[in-house]
Structures are given as structure tokens and as C-alpha cells.
């Protein structure tokens, strides 16, 4: 493609006698230039820049009377799901319960985890990840998986925060706790975000050690990630604001800078009971591993804080030393105020969230309630209409949108593959709005077999395009997430930067009441499988197992997408990003 363009350019700009020499010169120059491949980051200059002007067409997506009954049924289902969402939100905010909170605050004289975040972060604008993780598990309810994770601003800089909640099982780490912490570190790595650990942990839950310790993506991976992040020049700061016992003791000692709180922070592999059992000696936690010891003697911590508030002030000061060059403070609020709001109310998304696949309305109605000014530049509007693709802006961020609008047929998959590669070429982030068909099309005739084969090849092409695209990807499951179609629409296995679900969404290999598509017609298991699918496909079941980054209400989707896009693009402001040969080693 480069040679062809050079040839055309030469013939159009130079007289005939010099065409050959100029063409050869340009081709040689191009062949000498090394090719650079992007790795999940956007290559923008730091200097101030002005985006290209755009006047995308406005989507006129009003409701019509014939859609009213579908809208009302969806709205009723959304209200029911929102009620469930509110109940679970209240449950996780209570942490380990009233008695645990009293013991944590009065006896141990420690702040609650959400109060700690208020002291650490600039404001309440905190994108919490997977708040319902840990609910409904075989070994019981572990509220928020025993730790809070998310992305918030510290001195204007988006940072990942991983904070243990010691009111939940005393800060003990369960398998779901480890999984949540690893996902937070993955978000930090993908988006090159500084990471702050608020450590208050009692170590692993020993009865489930086989699910915490031995495997690749279990407990030890946390420390591996810390080393790799340091080598990638992703800053990490740790605050010891409680117990750091056993495996939890390695997190602050591997961070680049560590703050420790006097009297409430302790750091050791084995506590006083183990010392007494081994040697018969009685020792206090403060003498064995308190802040004074580690700040003055062992050197395991870098900053001594007399109380928790001082520790978070110190952490904010540490973040201010990071080598980032952010835009002027007044630019960001001004930019958001200047963007056009959608022409339609975001509250109407509650009636557009499908209660089932058969209650899906035109996905352009959803797009028109998410984009700036309800504007959307559609790509291949008349081809493969069961997939909607095109460009739009969300709070000024240019994005490519790929949205399910029916079954992912042959033409739609080819269109999706083309559009994904187009966005990858232009460094435009991708947003997937996923609502896939409940089951694969049956193969009953030779013609149908040929159609399904063509569809299979096209979907494979789209999967390859999505998997290999190096631009950031954000997925929102607005309806169903079923079968192979969900992979082509950037499901969890295809590694999106963020994946959220609406409360009405369902995730399963096939939709409830469609088990017969996978089993023999007269199978006696169909009823049992359908009941299992109904229970296990719920968005709340999914989120409890951390198959997503959280459930978001439809009316909050635009705000969440804007925050994610801000987070993703922050990496352009880091002044030093080249990978070093080794990580920072402590004393």
C-alpha cells in the first residue's frame, strides 16, 4: 500500500523523466524505516492539540407507538433489576456487619476503608470495580471480596487503588479476594496507571489454601505483577494501615515507596503467637513489627506516619512527585461542560434495556442516548445491518462504536472486522455494545449448512481483528452475552480494558430456555439445564464471580464511559515510559 501511494504521488507531482528516480528513492527510504507496533496505548504528543472538527449526523431516534408495549415491559424489568442492585449495594457498603465495624473503629481505632478513600482521593469521583464480587459464592458471602478496588484521582492523577477491608473476615484473603486484586493490577498495567495499596490484611484463608496459593494466577501472581509493573515504570505506593501478616507482608516491601502508620500498622511474616509457640518469648506486635521498628531499624518502610490522616497526606505528596505532565486544571471541567448532551434523556435507557432478546429495540436508540449531541457517523449503514458500526464522540473523546442489532450474520461479521481494523489503524478506541443472539442458528438443510459455514469464517475473521487490535477496548453488555458471538463482540476472554454489565444482562453459553439447541431434542436434561441457565446467567451471579468489572445502571453508562476514556488516555502524559531492565529493588 505504501509503494502504490508513492507511485501515485510521484506521477502527479513530477515530470516524467524524474519519476523513476524519485519513486525508487522514496521506496528505499520507506524500506529503511523501522515499523513500530503499538501495545495497547495511544501515541499522542503531550503538547496542546486541537481535534479535527466534526459534524456527525444527528440520530433521530424517537419512540413510536408500536414500540410502547416493549418499552414498558423493559422498564418494568429494569426497575426490578435496579431494586436488586440497590439492595446489594447497601449490603456491600456495610462490609462485615455492625459488630465488625464497631470492633474495627473503636477497639482497633482504625478508619473504615471508604473513609480512608475520602482522605486519599481528590473527590468522590471514584470508579469502583466489581463491588458485588464475592456475593453468592459456595463458601459464603464475602462482601466486595474483602477489598475495594477502583480508579480515582490523587492530585489530579488517575490511580488504581487496592484497599483491604478488615471488617470483612478480619481482612483475610479468600480466592475471590486474590482474583479481584489481580484484576485491579491488570487494569493498572493495561492503562499504565499508578497503583496505591492500602494494606490491612491477615493473610490467606488457610482452609482454602489450595485455591489461593499454588497456581499461576493465584496469590503469588500479585508479587510477580508488582515486580513487572516496577520494571514498566508504573509507580506503586503502599500504605500499611493495619496488619500485614504472612503473604500480605510482601506487598509493602515490594512497592517503590511505603508509608506506615504508628501503633495500628504491623508488618511481619508470623505474629506474636507464633513467636511464643516457637521460642516461648512474649513480644508485642509493635515491638515485633511496628512502624518505629521498620522505619528506624529494618528500613522496610520509607515514611513514618503518626496517624492515618498523616499517612494519606504523605501518600498524596508521593504521588505529586511522579513524572506526569497533566493538562491545565481548568481544561478538563471546561471540556466536559462544552460537550453537547444527548438530545434524549438517559433515563429512557431503562426502557431500552431488553428484558430478553425478543424485547430488543433498534440499538441506535441506545447509541443516541450515549453520544455527544446524539450524533453518529455510521459506517456501512446499508450492509450487514444486524451490526451497527460508526464513529461518535463521548465527552469529546472520539470513539468507534460496534453495537449488536441482531444475529451476527456473515455480512455483519465482515463489516465488523473491517471497522475494527479501521479503528486500529487510526488509533481510535473501540466501544462494544453487546446483545448477542440467544443460540446458534440450527443446521437443518444443505443451504443452511453453507450459510452457517460462511458465517463461521466471517466471525473467525472478526475475532482475529478484535483480538489483534492494539487500541483500547471497552465492552458494555446491554443484553445477552451468549455463544461465539460474544467473543467477536469483545467478551471477557478477549481482554477489553474494561467490561461492564447492565443489571438486565445475561451471560451463558446459551440463553435460558434455549438449552435444546445444545442437547438432543428428546433429552430429559433440557429442563434441568434451562433452570441452571436461568440461575447462573444473571448479571449478579456473573459479577459475584468477577466475570466483569462491575454492574452499572443504564442511565450512568455515559458517565462511566467518559471516565474510562479519561483513564485510558492519561498514559500520554507520563514523561518516562520506556521499559527498564529491572525493577526497583528495596534495601
- Domain boundary among the residues 321, 356, 378 is at 321
CB 284 within 8 A of CB 228: no
CA angle (439 as vertex; 437, 442 as ends), nearest 5: 120
Res 415 pLDDT > 80:
yes
Band of pLDDT at residue 122, cut at 50, 70 and 90:
very high
Res 387 pLDDT > 90:
yes
Do the domain assignments include residue 537?
yes
CB 141 within 8 A of CB 79: no
Whose cell is 511496628? That residue is 290
Give the percent of the chain with pLDDT over 90.
Answer: 69
Do the domain assignments include residue 350?
yes
Res 363 pLDDT > 90:
yes
130 vs 548: CA distance, rounded Å: 7
DSSP state of 440: P
User: Residue 239 forms beta bridges with which residues?
Assistant: 198, 259
How many CA atoms lie less than 13 Å away from 201 in the CB half-sphere?
31
Same domain membership, residue 301 and residue 160 = yes
Q: Which grid cell is 297?
A: 531499624
Phi, psi of 334 (to 5 degrees): -65, -40
Do the domain assignments include residue 428?
yes
Among 119, 584, 583, smallest CA distance to 305 is for: 119
Do the domain assignments include residue 336?
no
Q: What is the pLDDT of residue 27?
A: 47
- The CATH number covering residue 392 comes to 3.90.226.10
Q: What is the pLDDT of residue 48?
A: 53
Do the domain assignments include residue 118?
yes
Q: Please report, for residues 227, 262, 309, 315, the alpha-carbon distance to residue 304 in angstroms, rounded to integers and kept in the order given.
A: 24, 7, 12, 11
Do the domain assignments include residue 431?
yes
Do the domain assignments include residue 45?
no
Window from 256-260, 441-445, 528-532 with minimum mean pLDDT = 441-445
Q: How many domains does the chain have?
A: 2
Same domain membership, residue 227 and residue 273 = yes
Q: Please report, for residues 251, 301, 303, the alpha-carbon distance to residue 257 in angstroms, rounded to integers and kept in the order given.
A: 11, 7, 8
Q: Please report, for residues 20, 23, 29, 60, the alpha-carbon distance to residue 17 in angstroms, rounded to integers and kept in the order given.
A: 7, 11, 20, 55
Same domain membership, residue 355 and residue 308 = no
- Domain boundary among the residues 321, 349, 364 is at 321
Do the domain assignments include residue 361?
yes
CB 191 within 8 A of CB 200: no
Same domain membership, residue 164 and residue 194 = yes
Q: Work out the angle between the directed axes of helices 175-191 and 219-231 (0-180°, nearest 10).
A: 20
Among 119, 58, 86, 120, smallest CA distance to 343 is for: 58
Q: What is the pLDDT of residue 331?
A: 57
Pairing outcome for strands 430-434 and 397-404: parallel
Taking only the tens place, the pLDDT of each residue in 199-253 is 998 888 999 999 999 999 998 999 999 999 999 999 999 999 999 888 788 999 9
- Domain boundary among the residues 287, 321, 355 is at 321
Among 285, 247, 252, smallest CA distance to 266 is for: 285
Same domain membership, residue 439 and residue 312 = no
Same domain membership, residue 180 and residue 126 = yes
Res 44 pLDDT > 60:
no
Q: Which grid cell is 253?
A: 516491601
Same domain membership, residue 414 and residue 354 = yes
Residue 21 vs residue 547, higher pLDDT = 547
Same domain membership, residue 310 and residue 190 = yes
Same domain membership, residue 348 and residue 297 = no
Same domain membership, residue 559 and residue 453 = yes
415 vs 473: CA distance, rounded Å: 18
Band of pLDDT at residue 41, cut at 50, 70 and 90:
very low
Taking only the tens place, the pLDDT of each residue in 318-354 is 999 998 888 876 555 555 555 789 999 999 999 999 9
255 vs 116: CA distance, rounded Å: 19
CB 318 within 8 A of CB 324: no
Same domain membership, residue 287 and residue 166 = yes
Q: Where are the alpha helices (DSSP H) in 130-237?
A: 175-191, 219-231
Same domain membership, residue 138 and residue 207 = yes
Buried b (16+ CB within 10 A) or exposed e, 69-108: ebbebbbebbeebbeebeebeeebeebbeeebeeebeeee
To the nearest whole number, what is the mean pLDDT of the chain? 88
User: Which pTM does this prediction carry?
Assistant: 0.87
What is the residue range of 430's domain?
341-572
Q: How many helices (H) and strands (E) does the chain have?
A: 21, 16
Whose cell is 464471580? That residue is 545
For 290-332, give the secondary structure using H, E and C: EHHHHHHHHCCCCEEECCHHHHHHHHHHHHCCCCECCCCCCHH
Amino acid at each position: 500500500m505504501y509503494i502504490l501511494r508513492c507511485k501515485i504521488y510521484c506521477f502527479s507531482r513530477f515530470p516524467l523523466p524524474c519519476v523513476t528516480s524519485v519513486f525508487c528513492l522514496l521506496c528505499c527510504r520507506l524500506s529503511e524505516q523501522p515499523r513500530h507496533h503499538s501495545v495497547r496505548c495511544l501515541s499522542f504528543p503531550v503538547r496542546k492539540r486541537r481535534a479535527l472538527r466534526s459534524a456527525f449526523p444527528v440520530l433521530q431516534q424517537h419512540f413510536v407507538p408500536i414500540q410502547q408495549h416493549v418499552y414498558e415491559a423493559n422498564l418494568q424489568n429494569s426497575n426490578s433489576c435496579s431494586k436488586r442492585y440497590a439492595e446489594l449495594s447497601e449490603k456491600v457498603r456495610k462490609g462485615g456487619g455492625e459488630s465488625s465495624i464497631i470492633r474495627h473503629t473503636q477497639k482497633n481505632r482504625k478508619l473504615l476503608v471508604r473513609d480512608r478513600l475520602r482522605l486519599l482521593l481528590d473527590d468522590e469521583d471514584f470508579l469502583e470495580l466489581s463491588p458485588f464480587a464475592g456475593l453468592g459464592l459456595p463458601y459464603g458471602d464475602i462482601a466486595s471480596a474483602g477489598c475495594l478496588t477502583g480508579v480515582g484521582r490523587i492530585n489530579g492523577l488517575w490511580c488504581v487503588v487496592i484497599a483491604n477491608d478488615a471488617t470483612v473476615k478480619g481482612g483475610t484473603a479468600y480466592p475471590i479476594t486474590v482474583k479481584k486484586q489481580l484484576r485491579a493490577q491488570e487494569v493498572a498495567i493495561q492503562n499504565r496507571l499508578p497503583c496505591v495499596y492500602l494494606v490491612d490484611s491477615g493473610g490467606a484463608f488457610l482452609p482454602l489454601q489450595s485455591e489461593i496459593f499454588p497456581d499461576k494466577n493465584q496469590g503469588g501472581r500479585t508479587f510477580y505483577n508488582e515486580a513487572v509493573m516496577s520494571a514498566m515504570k508504573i509507580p506503586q505506593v503502599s500504605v500499611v494501615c493495619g496488619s500485614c501478616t504472612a503473604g500480605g507482608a510482601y506487598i509493602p516491601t515490594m512497592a517503590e515507596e511505603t508509608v506506615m502508620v504508628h501503633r495500628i500498622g504491623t508488618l511481619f511474616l508470623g505474629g506474636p503467637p507464633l513467636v511464643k509457640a516457637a521460642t516461648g518469648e512474649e513480644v508485642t506486635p509493635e515491638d515485633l513489627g511496628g512502624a518505629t521498628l521498620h522505619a528506624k531499624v529494618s528500613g522496610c518502610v520509607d515514611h513514618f506516619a503518626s496517624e492515618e490522616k498523616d499517612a494519606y497526606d504523605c501518600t498524596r505528596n508521593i504521588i505529586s512527585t511522579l513524572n506526569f505532565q497533566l493538562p491545565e486544571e481548568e481544561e478538563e471541567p471546561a471540556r466536559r461542560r462544552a460537550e453537547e448532551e444527548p438530545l434524549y434523556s438517559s433515563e429512557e435507557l431503562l426502557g431500552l434495556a431488553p428484558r430478553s432478546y425478543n424485547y430488543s429495540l433498534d440499538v441506535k436508540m441506545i447509541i443516541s442516548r450515549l453520544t455527544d449531541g446524539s450524533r453518529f457517523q455510521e459506517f456501512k449503514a446499508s450492509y450487514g445491518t444486524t451490526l451497527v458500526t460508526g464513529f461518535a464522540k463521548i465527552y469529546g473523546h472520539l470513539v468507534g462504536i460496534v453495537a449488536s442489532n441482531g444475529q451476527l450474520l456473515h455480512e455483519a461479521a465482515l463489516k465488523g472486522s473491517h471497522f475494527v481494523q479501521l479503528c486500529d489503524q487510526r488509533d481510535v478506541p473501540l466501544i462494544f455494545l453487546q446483545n448477542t443472539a440467544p443460540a446458534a442458528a440450527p443446521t437443518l438443510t444443505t443451504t443452511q449448512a453453507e450459510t452457517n459455514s460462511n458465517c463461521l469464517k466471517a466471525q473467525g475473521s472478526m475475532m482475529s481483528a478484535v483480538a489483534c487490535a492494539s487500541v483500547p477496548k471497552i465492552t458494555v453488555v446491554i443484553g445477552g452475552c451468549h455463544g461465539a458471538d460474544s467473543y467477536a463482540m469483545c467478551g471477557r476472554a478477549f481482554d477489553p480494558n474494561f467490561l461492564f454489565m447492565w443489571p438486565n444482562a445475561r451471560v451463558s453459553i446459551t440463553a435460558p430456555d434455549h438449552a435444546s439447541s445444545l442437547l438432543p431434542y428428546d433429552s430429559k436434561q433440557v429442563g434441568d439445564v434451562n433452570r441452571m441457565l436461568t440461575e447462573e446467567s444473571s448479571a449478579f451471579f456473573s459479577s459475584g464471580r468477577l466475570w466483569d468489572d462491575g454492574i452499572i445502571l443504564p442511565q450512568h453508562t455515559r458517565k462511566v464511559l467518559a471516565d474510562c476514556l479519561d483513564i485510558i488516555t492519561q498514559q500520554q502524559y507520563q514523561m518516562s515510559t520506556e521499559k527498564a531492565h529491572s525493577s526497583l529493588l528495596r534495601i
